[in-house]
Amino acid sequence: MASVLKNCPAPAKLNLFLHVTGRRPDGYHLLQTVFQLLDAGDSLDFACRDDGIIRRTTPIEGVPEDDDLVVRAARLLKEAMPDRERARHAGVDIGIDKRLPMGGGLGGGSSDAATTLVVLNHLWQAGLDRRALMALGLRLGADVPFFIFGRNAFAEGVGEALTEVATPDCWYVVLEPGVAVPTAAIFSNPELTRDSKAVRITDFPDAAFRFRKNDLQAVAERLFPPVSEALEWLRQFGEARMTGSGACVFCAFARKHEADAVLQAAGTTGKPGWKVWKAKSIERHPLSHLLES
């Protein structure tokens, strides 16, 4: 069994639409969304150690090691391992190539945590199946189970009830407007729409995704004007939408050269501080094979 795995992908996600359909008594919002995996994201390195110590070897500004979802995921898996003697020795050094922005709505932290659970379950020979890892992931954040699920999905509940769906095969242009949007600021806003009519998974033939909306977008645009400016600019090329609770916005294109033309335009008419990039849609998480028998 390998003790080191490098360049482990933690792909970004987009919310092709996002509806808020209600609120539970505990304050959590009920959502409906379609998650789309991208062929771009963060990358993590794992080097096992046998002294039980879990360390993050890459400093991340503003994120103390003990608060990092990656470290928390590793500790949570260690606690859940059925073989307590194996768990006692299970340690790891984790390096992170952080490419996705924090507060961007691309699922970066959640994806990093999911990759950590999947890879360490393999390296430590922890023996947990996909369902058990998804349950652990939900304790870290509502988006984490999706990345462990590993396929594009229609999600309900707080985002943990997942059904695989077919999504369009296309290119996406993603615009980072240079601002971080705290999720709590959006969900706590009194102007947030919380009563969108529930939809059914059968409502989603491929082309229907582009007719949906993101209920969080209007609040994010009001609170964070750079989000609104980014959407206005990107709309000249197609139907632009915000992902998650923001701040990143995106637009879909059928062909690569169309996406490339937008990147070229961003170099001449985009605003200082923007980061604009393209990514291809993918059907499965690149690490799905680690959970397949």
31 vs 61: CA distance, rounded Å = 31
Closest CA to 205 of 13, 34, 19: 34
Given the residues 42, 45, 143, 215, select the one marked as catalytic. 143
Asked if 256 is an active-site residue, the reply is: no
Q: Is 207 helix (H, G, I), strand (E, B) or coil?
A: helix
63 vs 75: CA distance, rounded Å = 17
Quick one: pLDDT at residue 202? 64
Domain 4-165: give its CATH architecture: 2-Layer Sandwich (3.30)
Q: Which residues of the chain have pLDDT under 70?
A: 1-2, 202-211, 293
Asked if 143 is an active-site residue, the reply is: yes
Question: Contact 177/215 with Cβ under 8 angstroms?
Answer: no
Strand segments, DSSP code E, in the chain are 4-23, 29-49, 54-56, 91-97, 153-156, 161-164, 171-176, 241-242, 249-253, 275-282
Quick one: pLDDT at residue 113? 98
Quick one: pLDDT at residue 203? 64
What backbone torsions phi and psi does residue 252 show, to the nearest 5 degrees?
A: -100, 145
194 vs 36: CA distance, rounded Å = 23
Q: Where are the domains of the chain?
A: 4-165, 171-282
Question: Contact 9/43 with Cβ under 8 angstroms?
Answer: yes
143 vs 133: CA distance, rounded Å = 13
Quick one: pLDDT at residue 24? 84
Q: What is the pLDDT of residues 34-73, one digit of tens each?
A: 999 999 999 999 999 999 999 999 999 999 999 999 999 9
Quick one: pLDDT at residue 38? 98
Given the residues 13, 78, 98, 278, select the one marked as catalytic. 13
16 vs 286: CA distance, rounded Å = 20
Quick one: pLDDT at residue 28? 81
Quick one: pLDDT at residue 21? 92
Domain 171-282: give its CATH architecture: 2-Layer Sandwich (3.30)
Question: What is the pTM assigned to this prediction?
Answer: 0.95
Q: Bridge-partner residues for 10, per DSSP?
A: 42
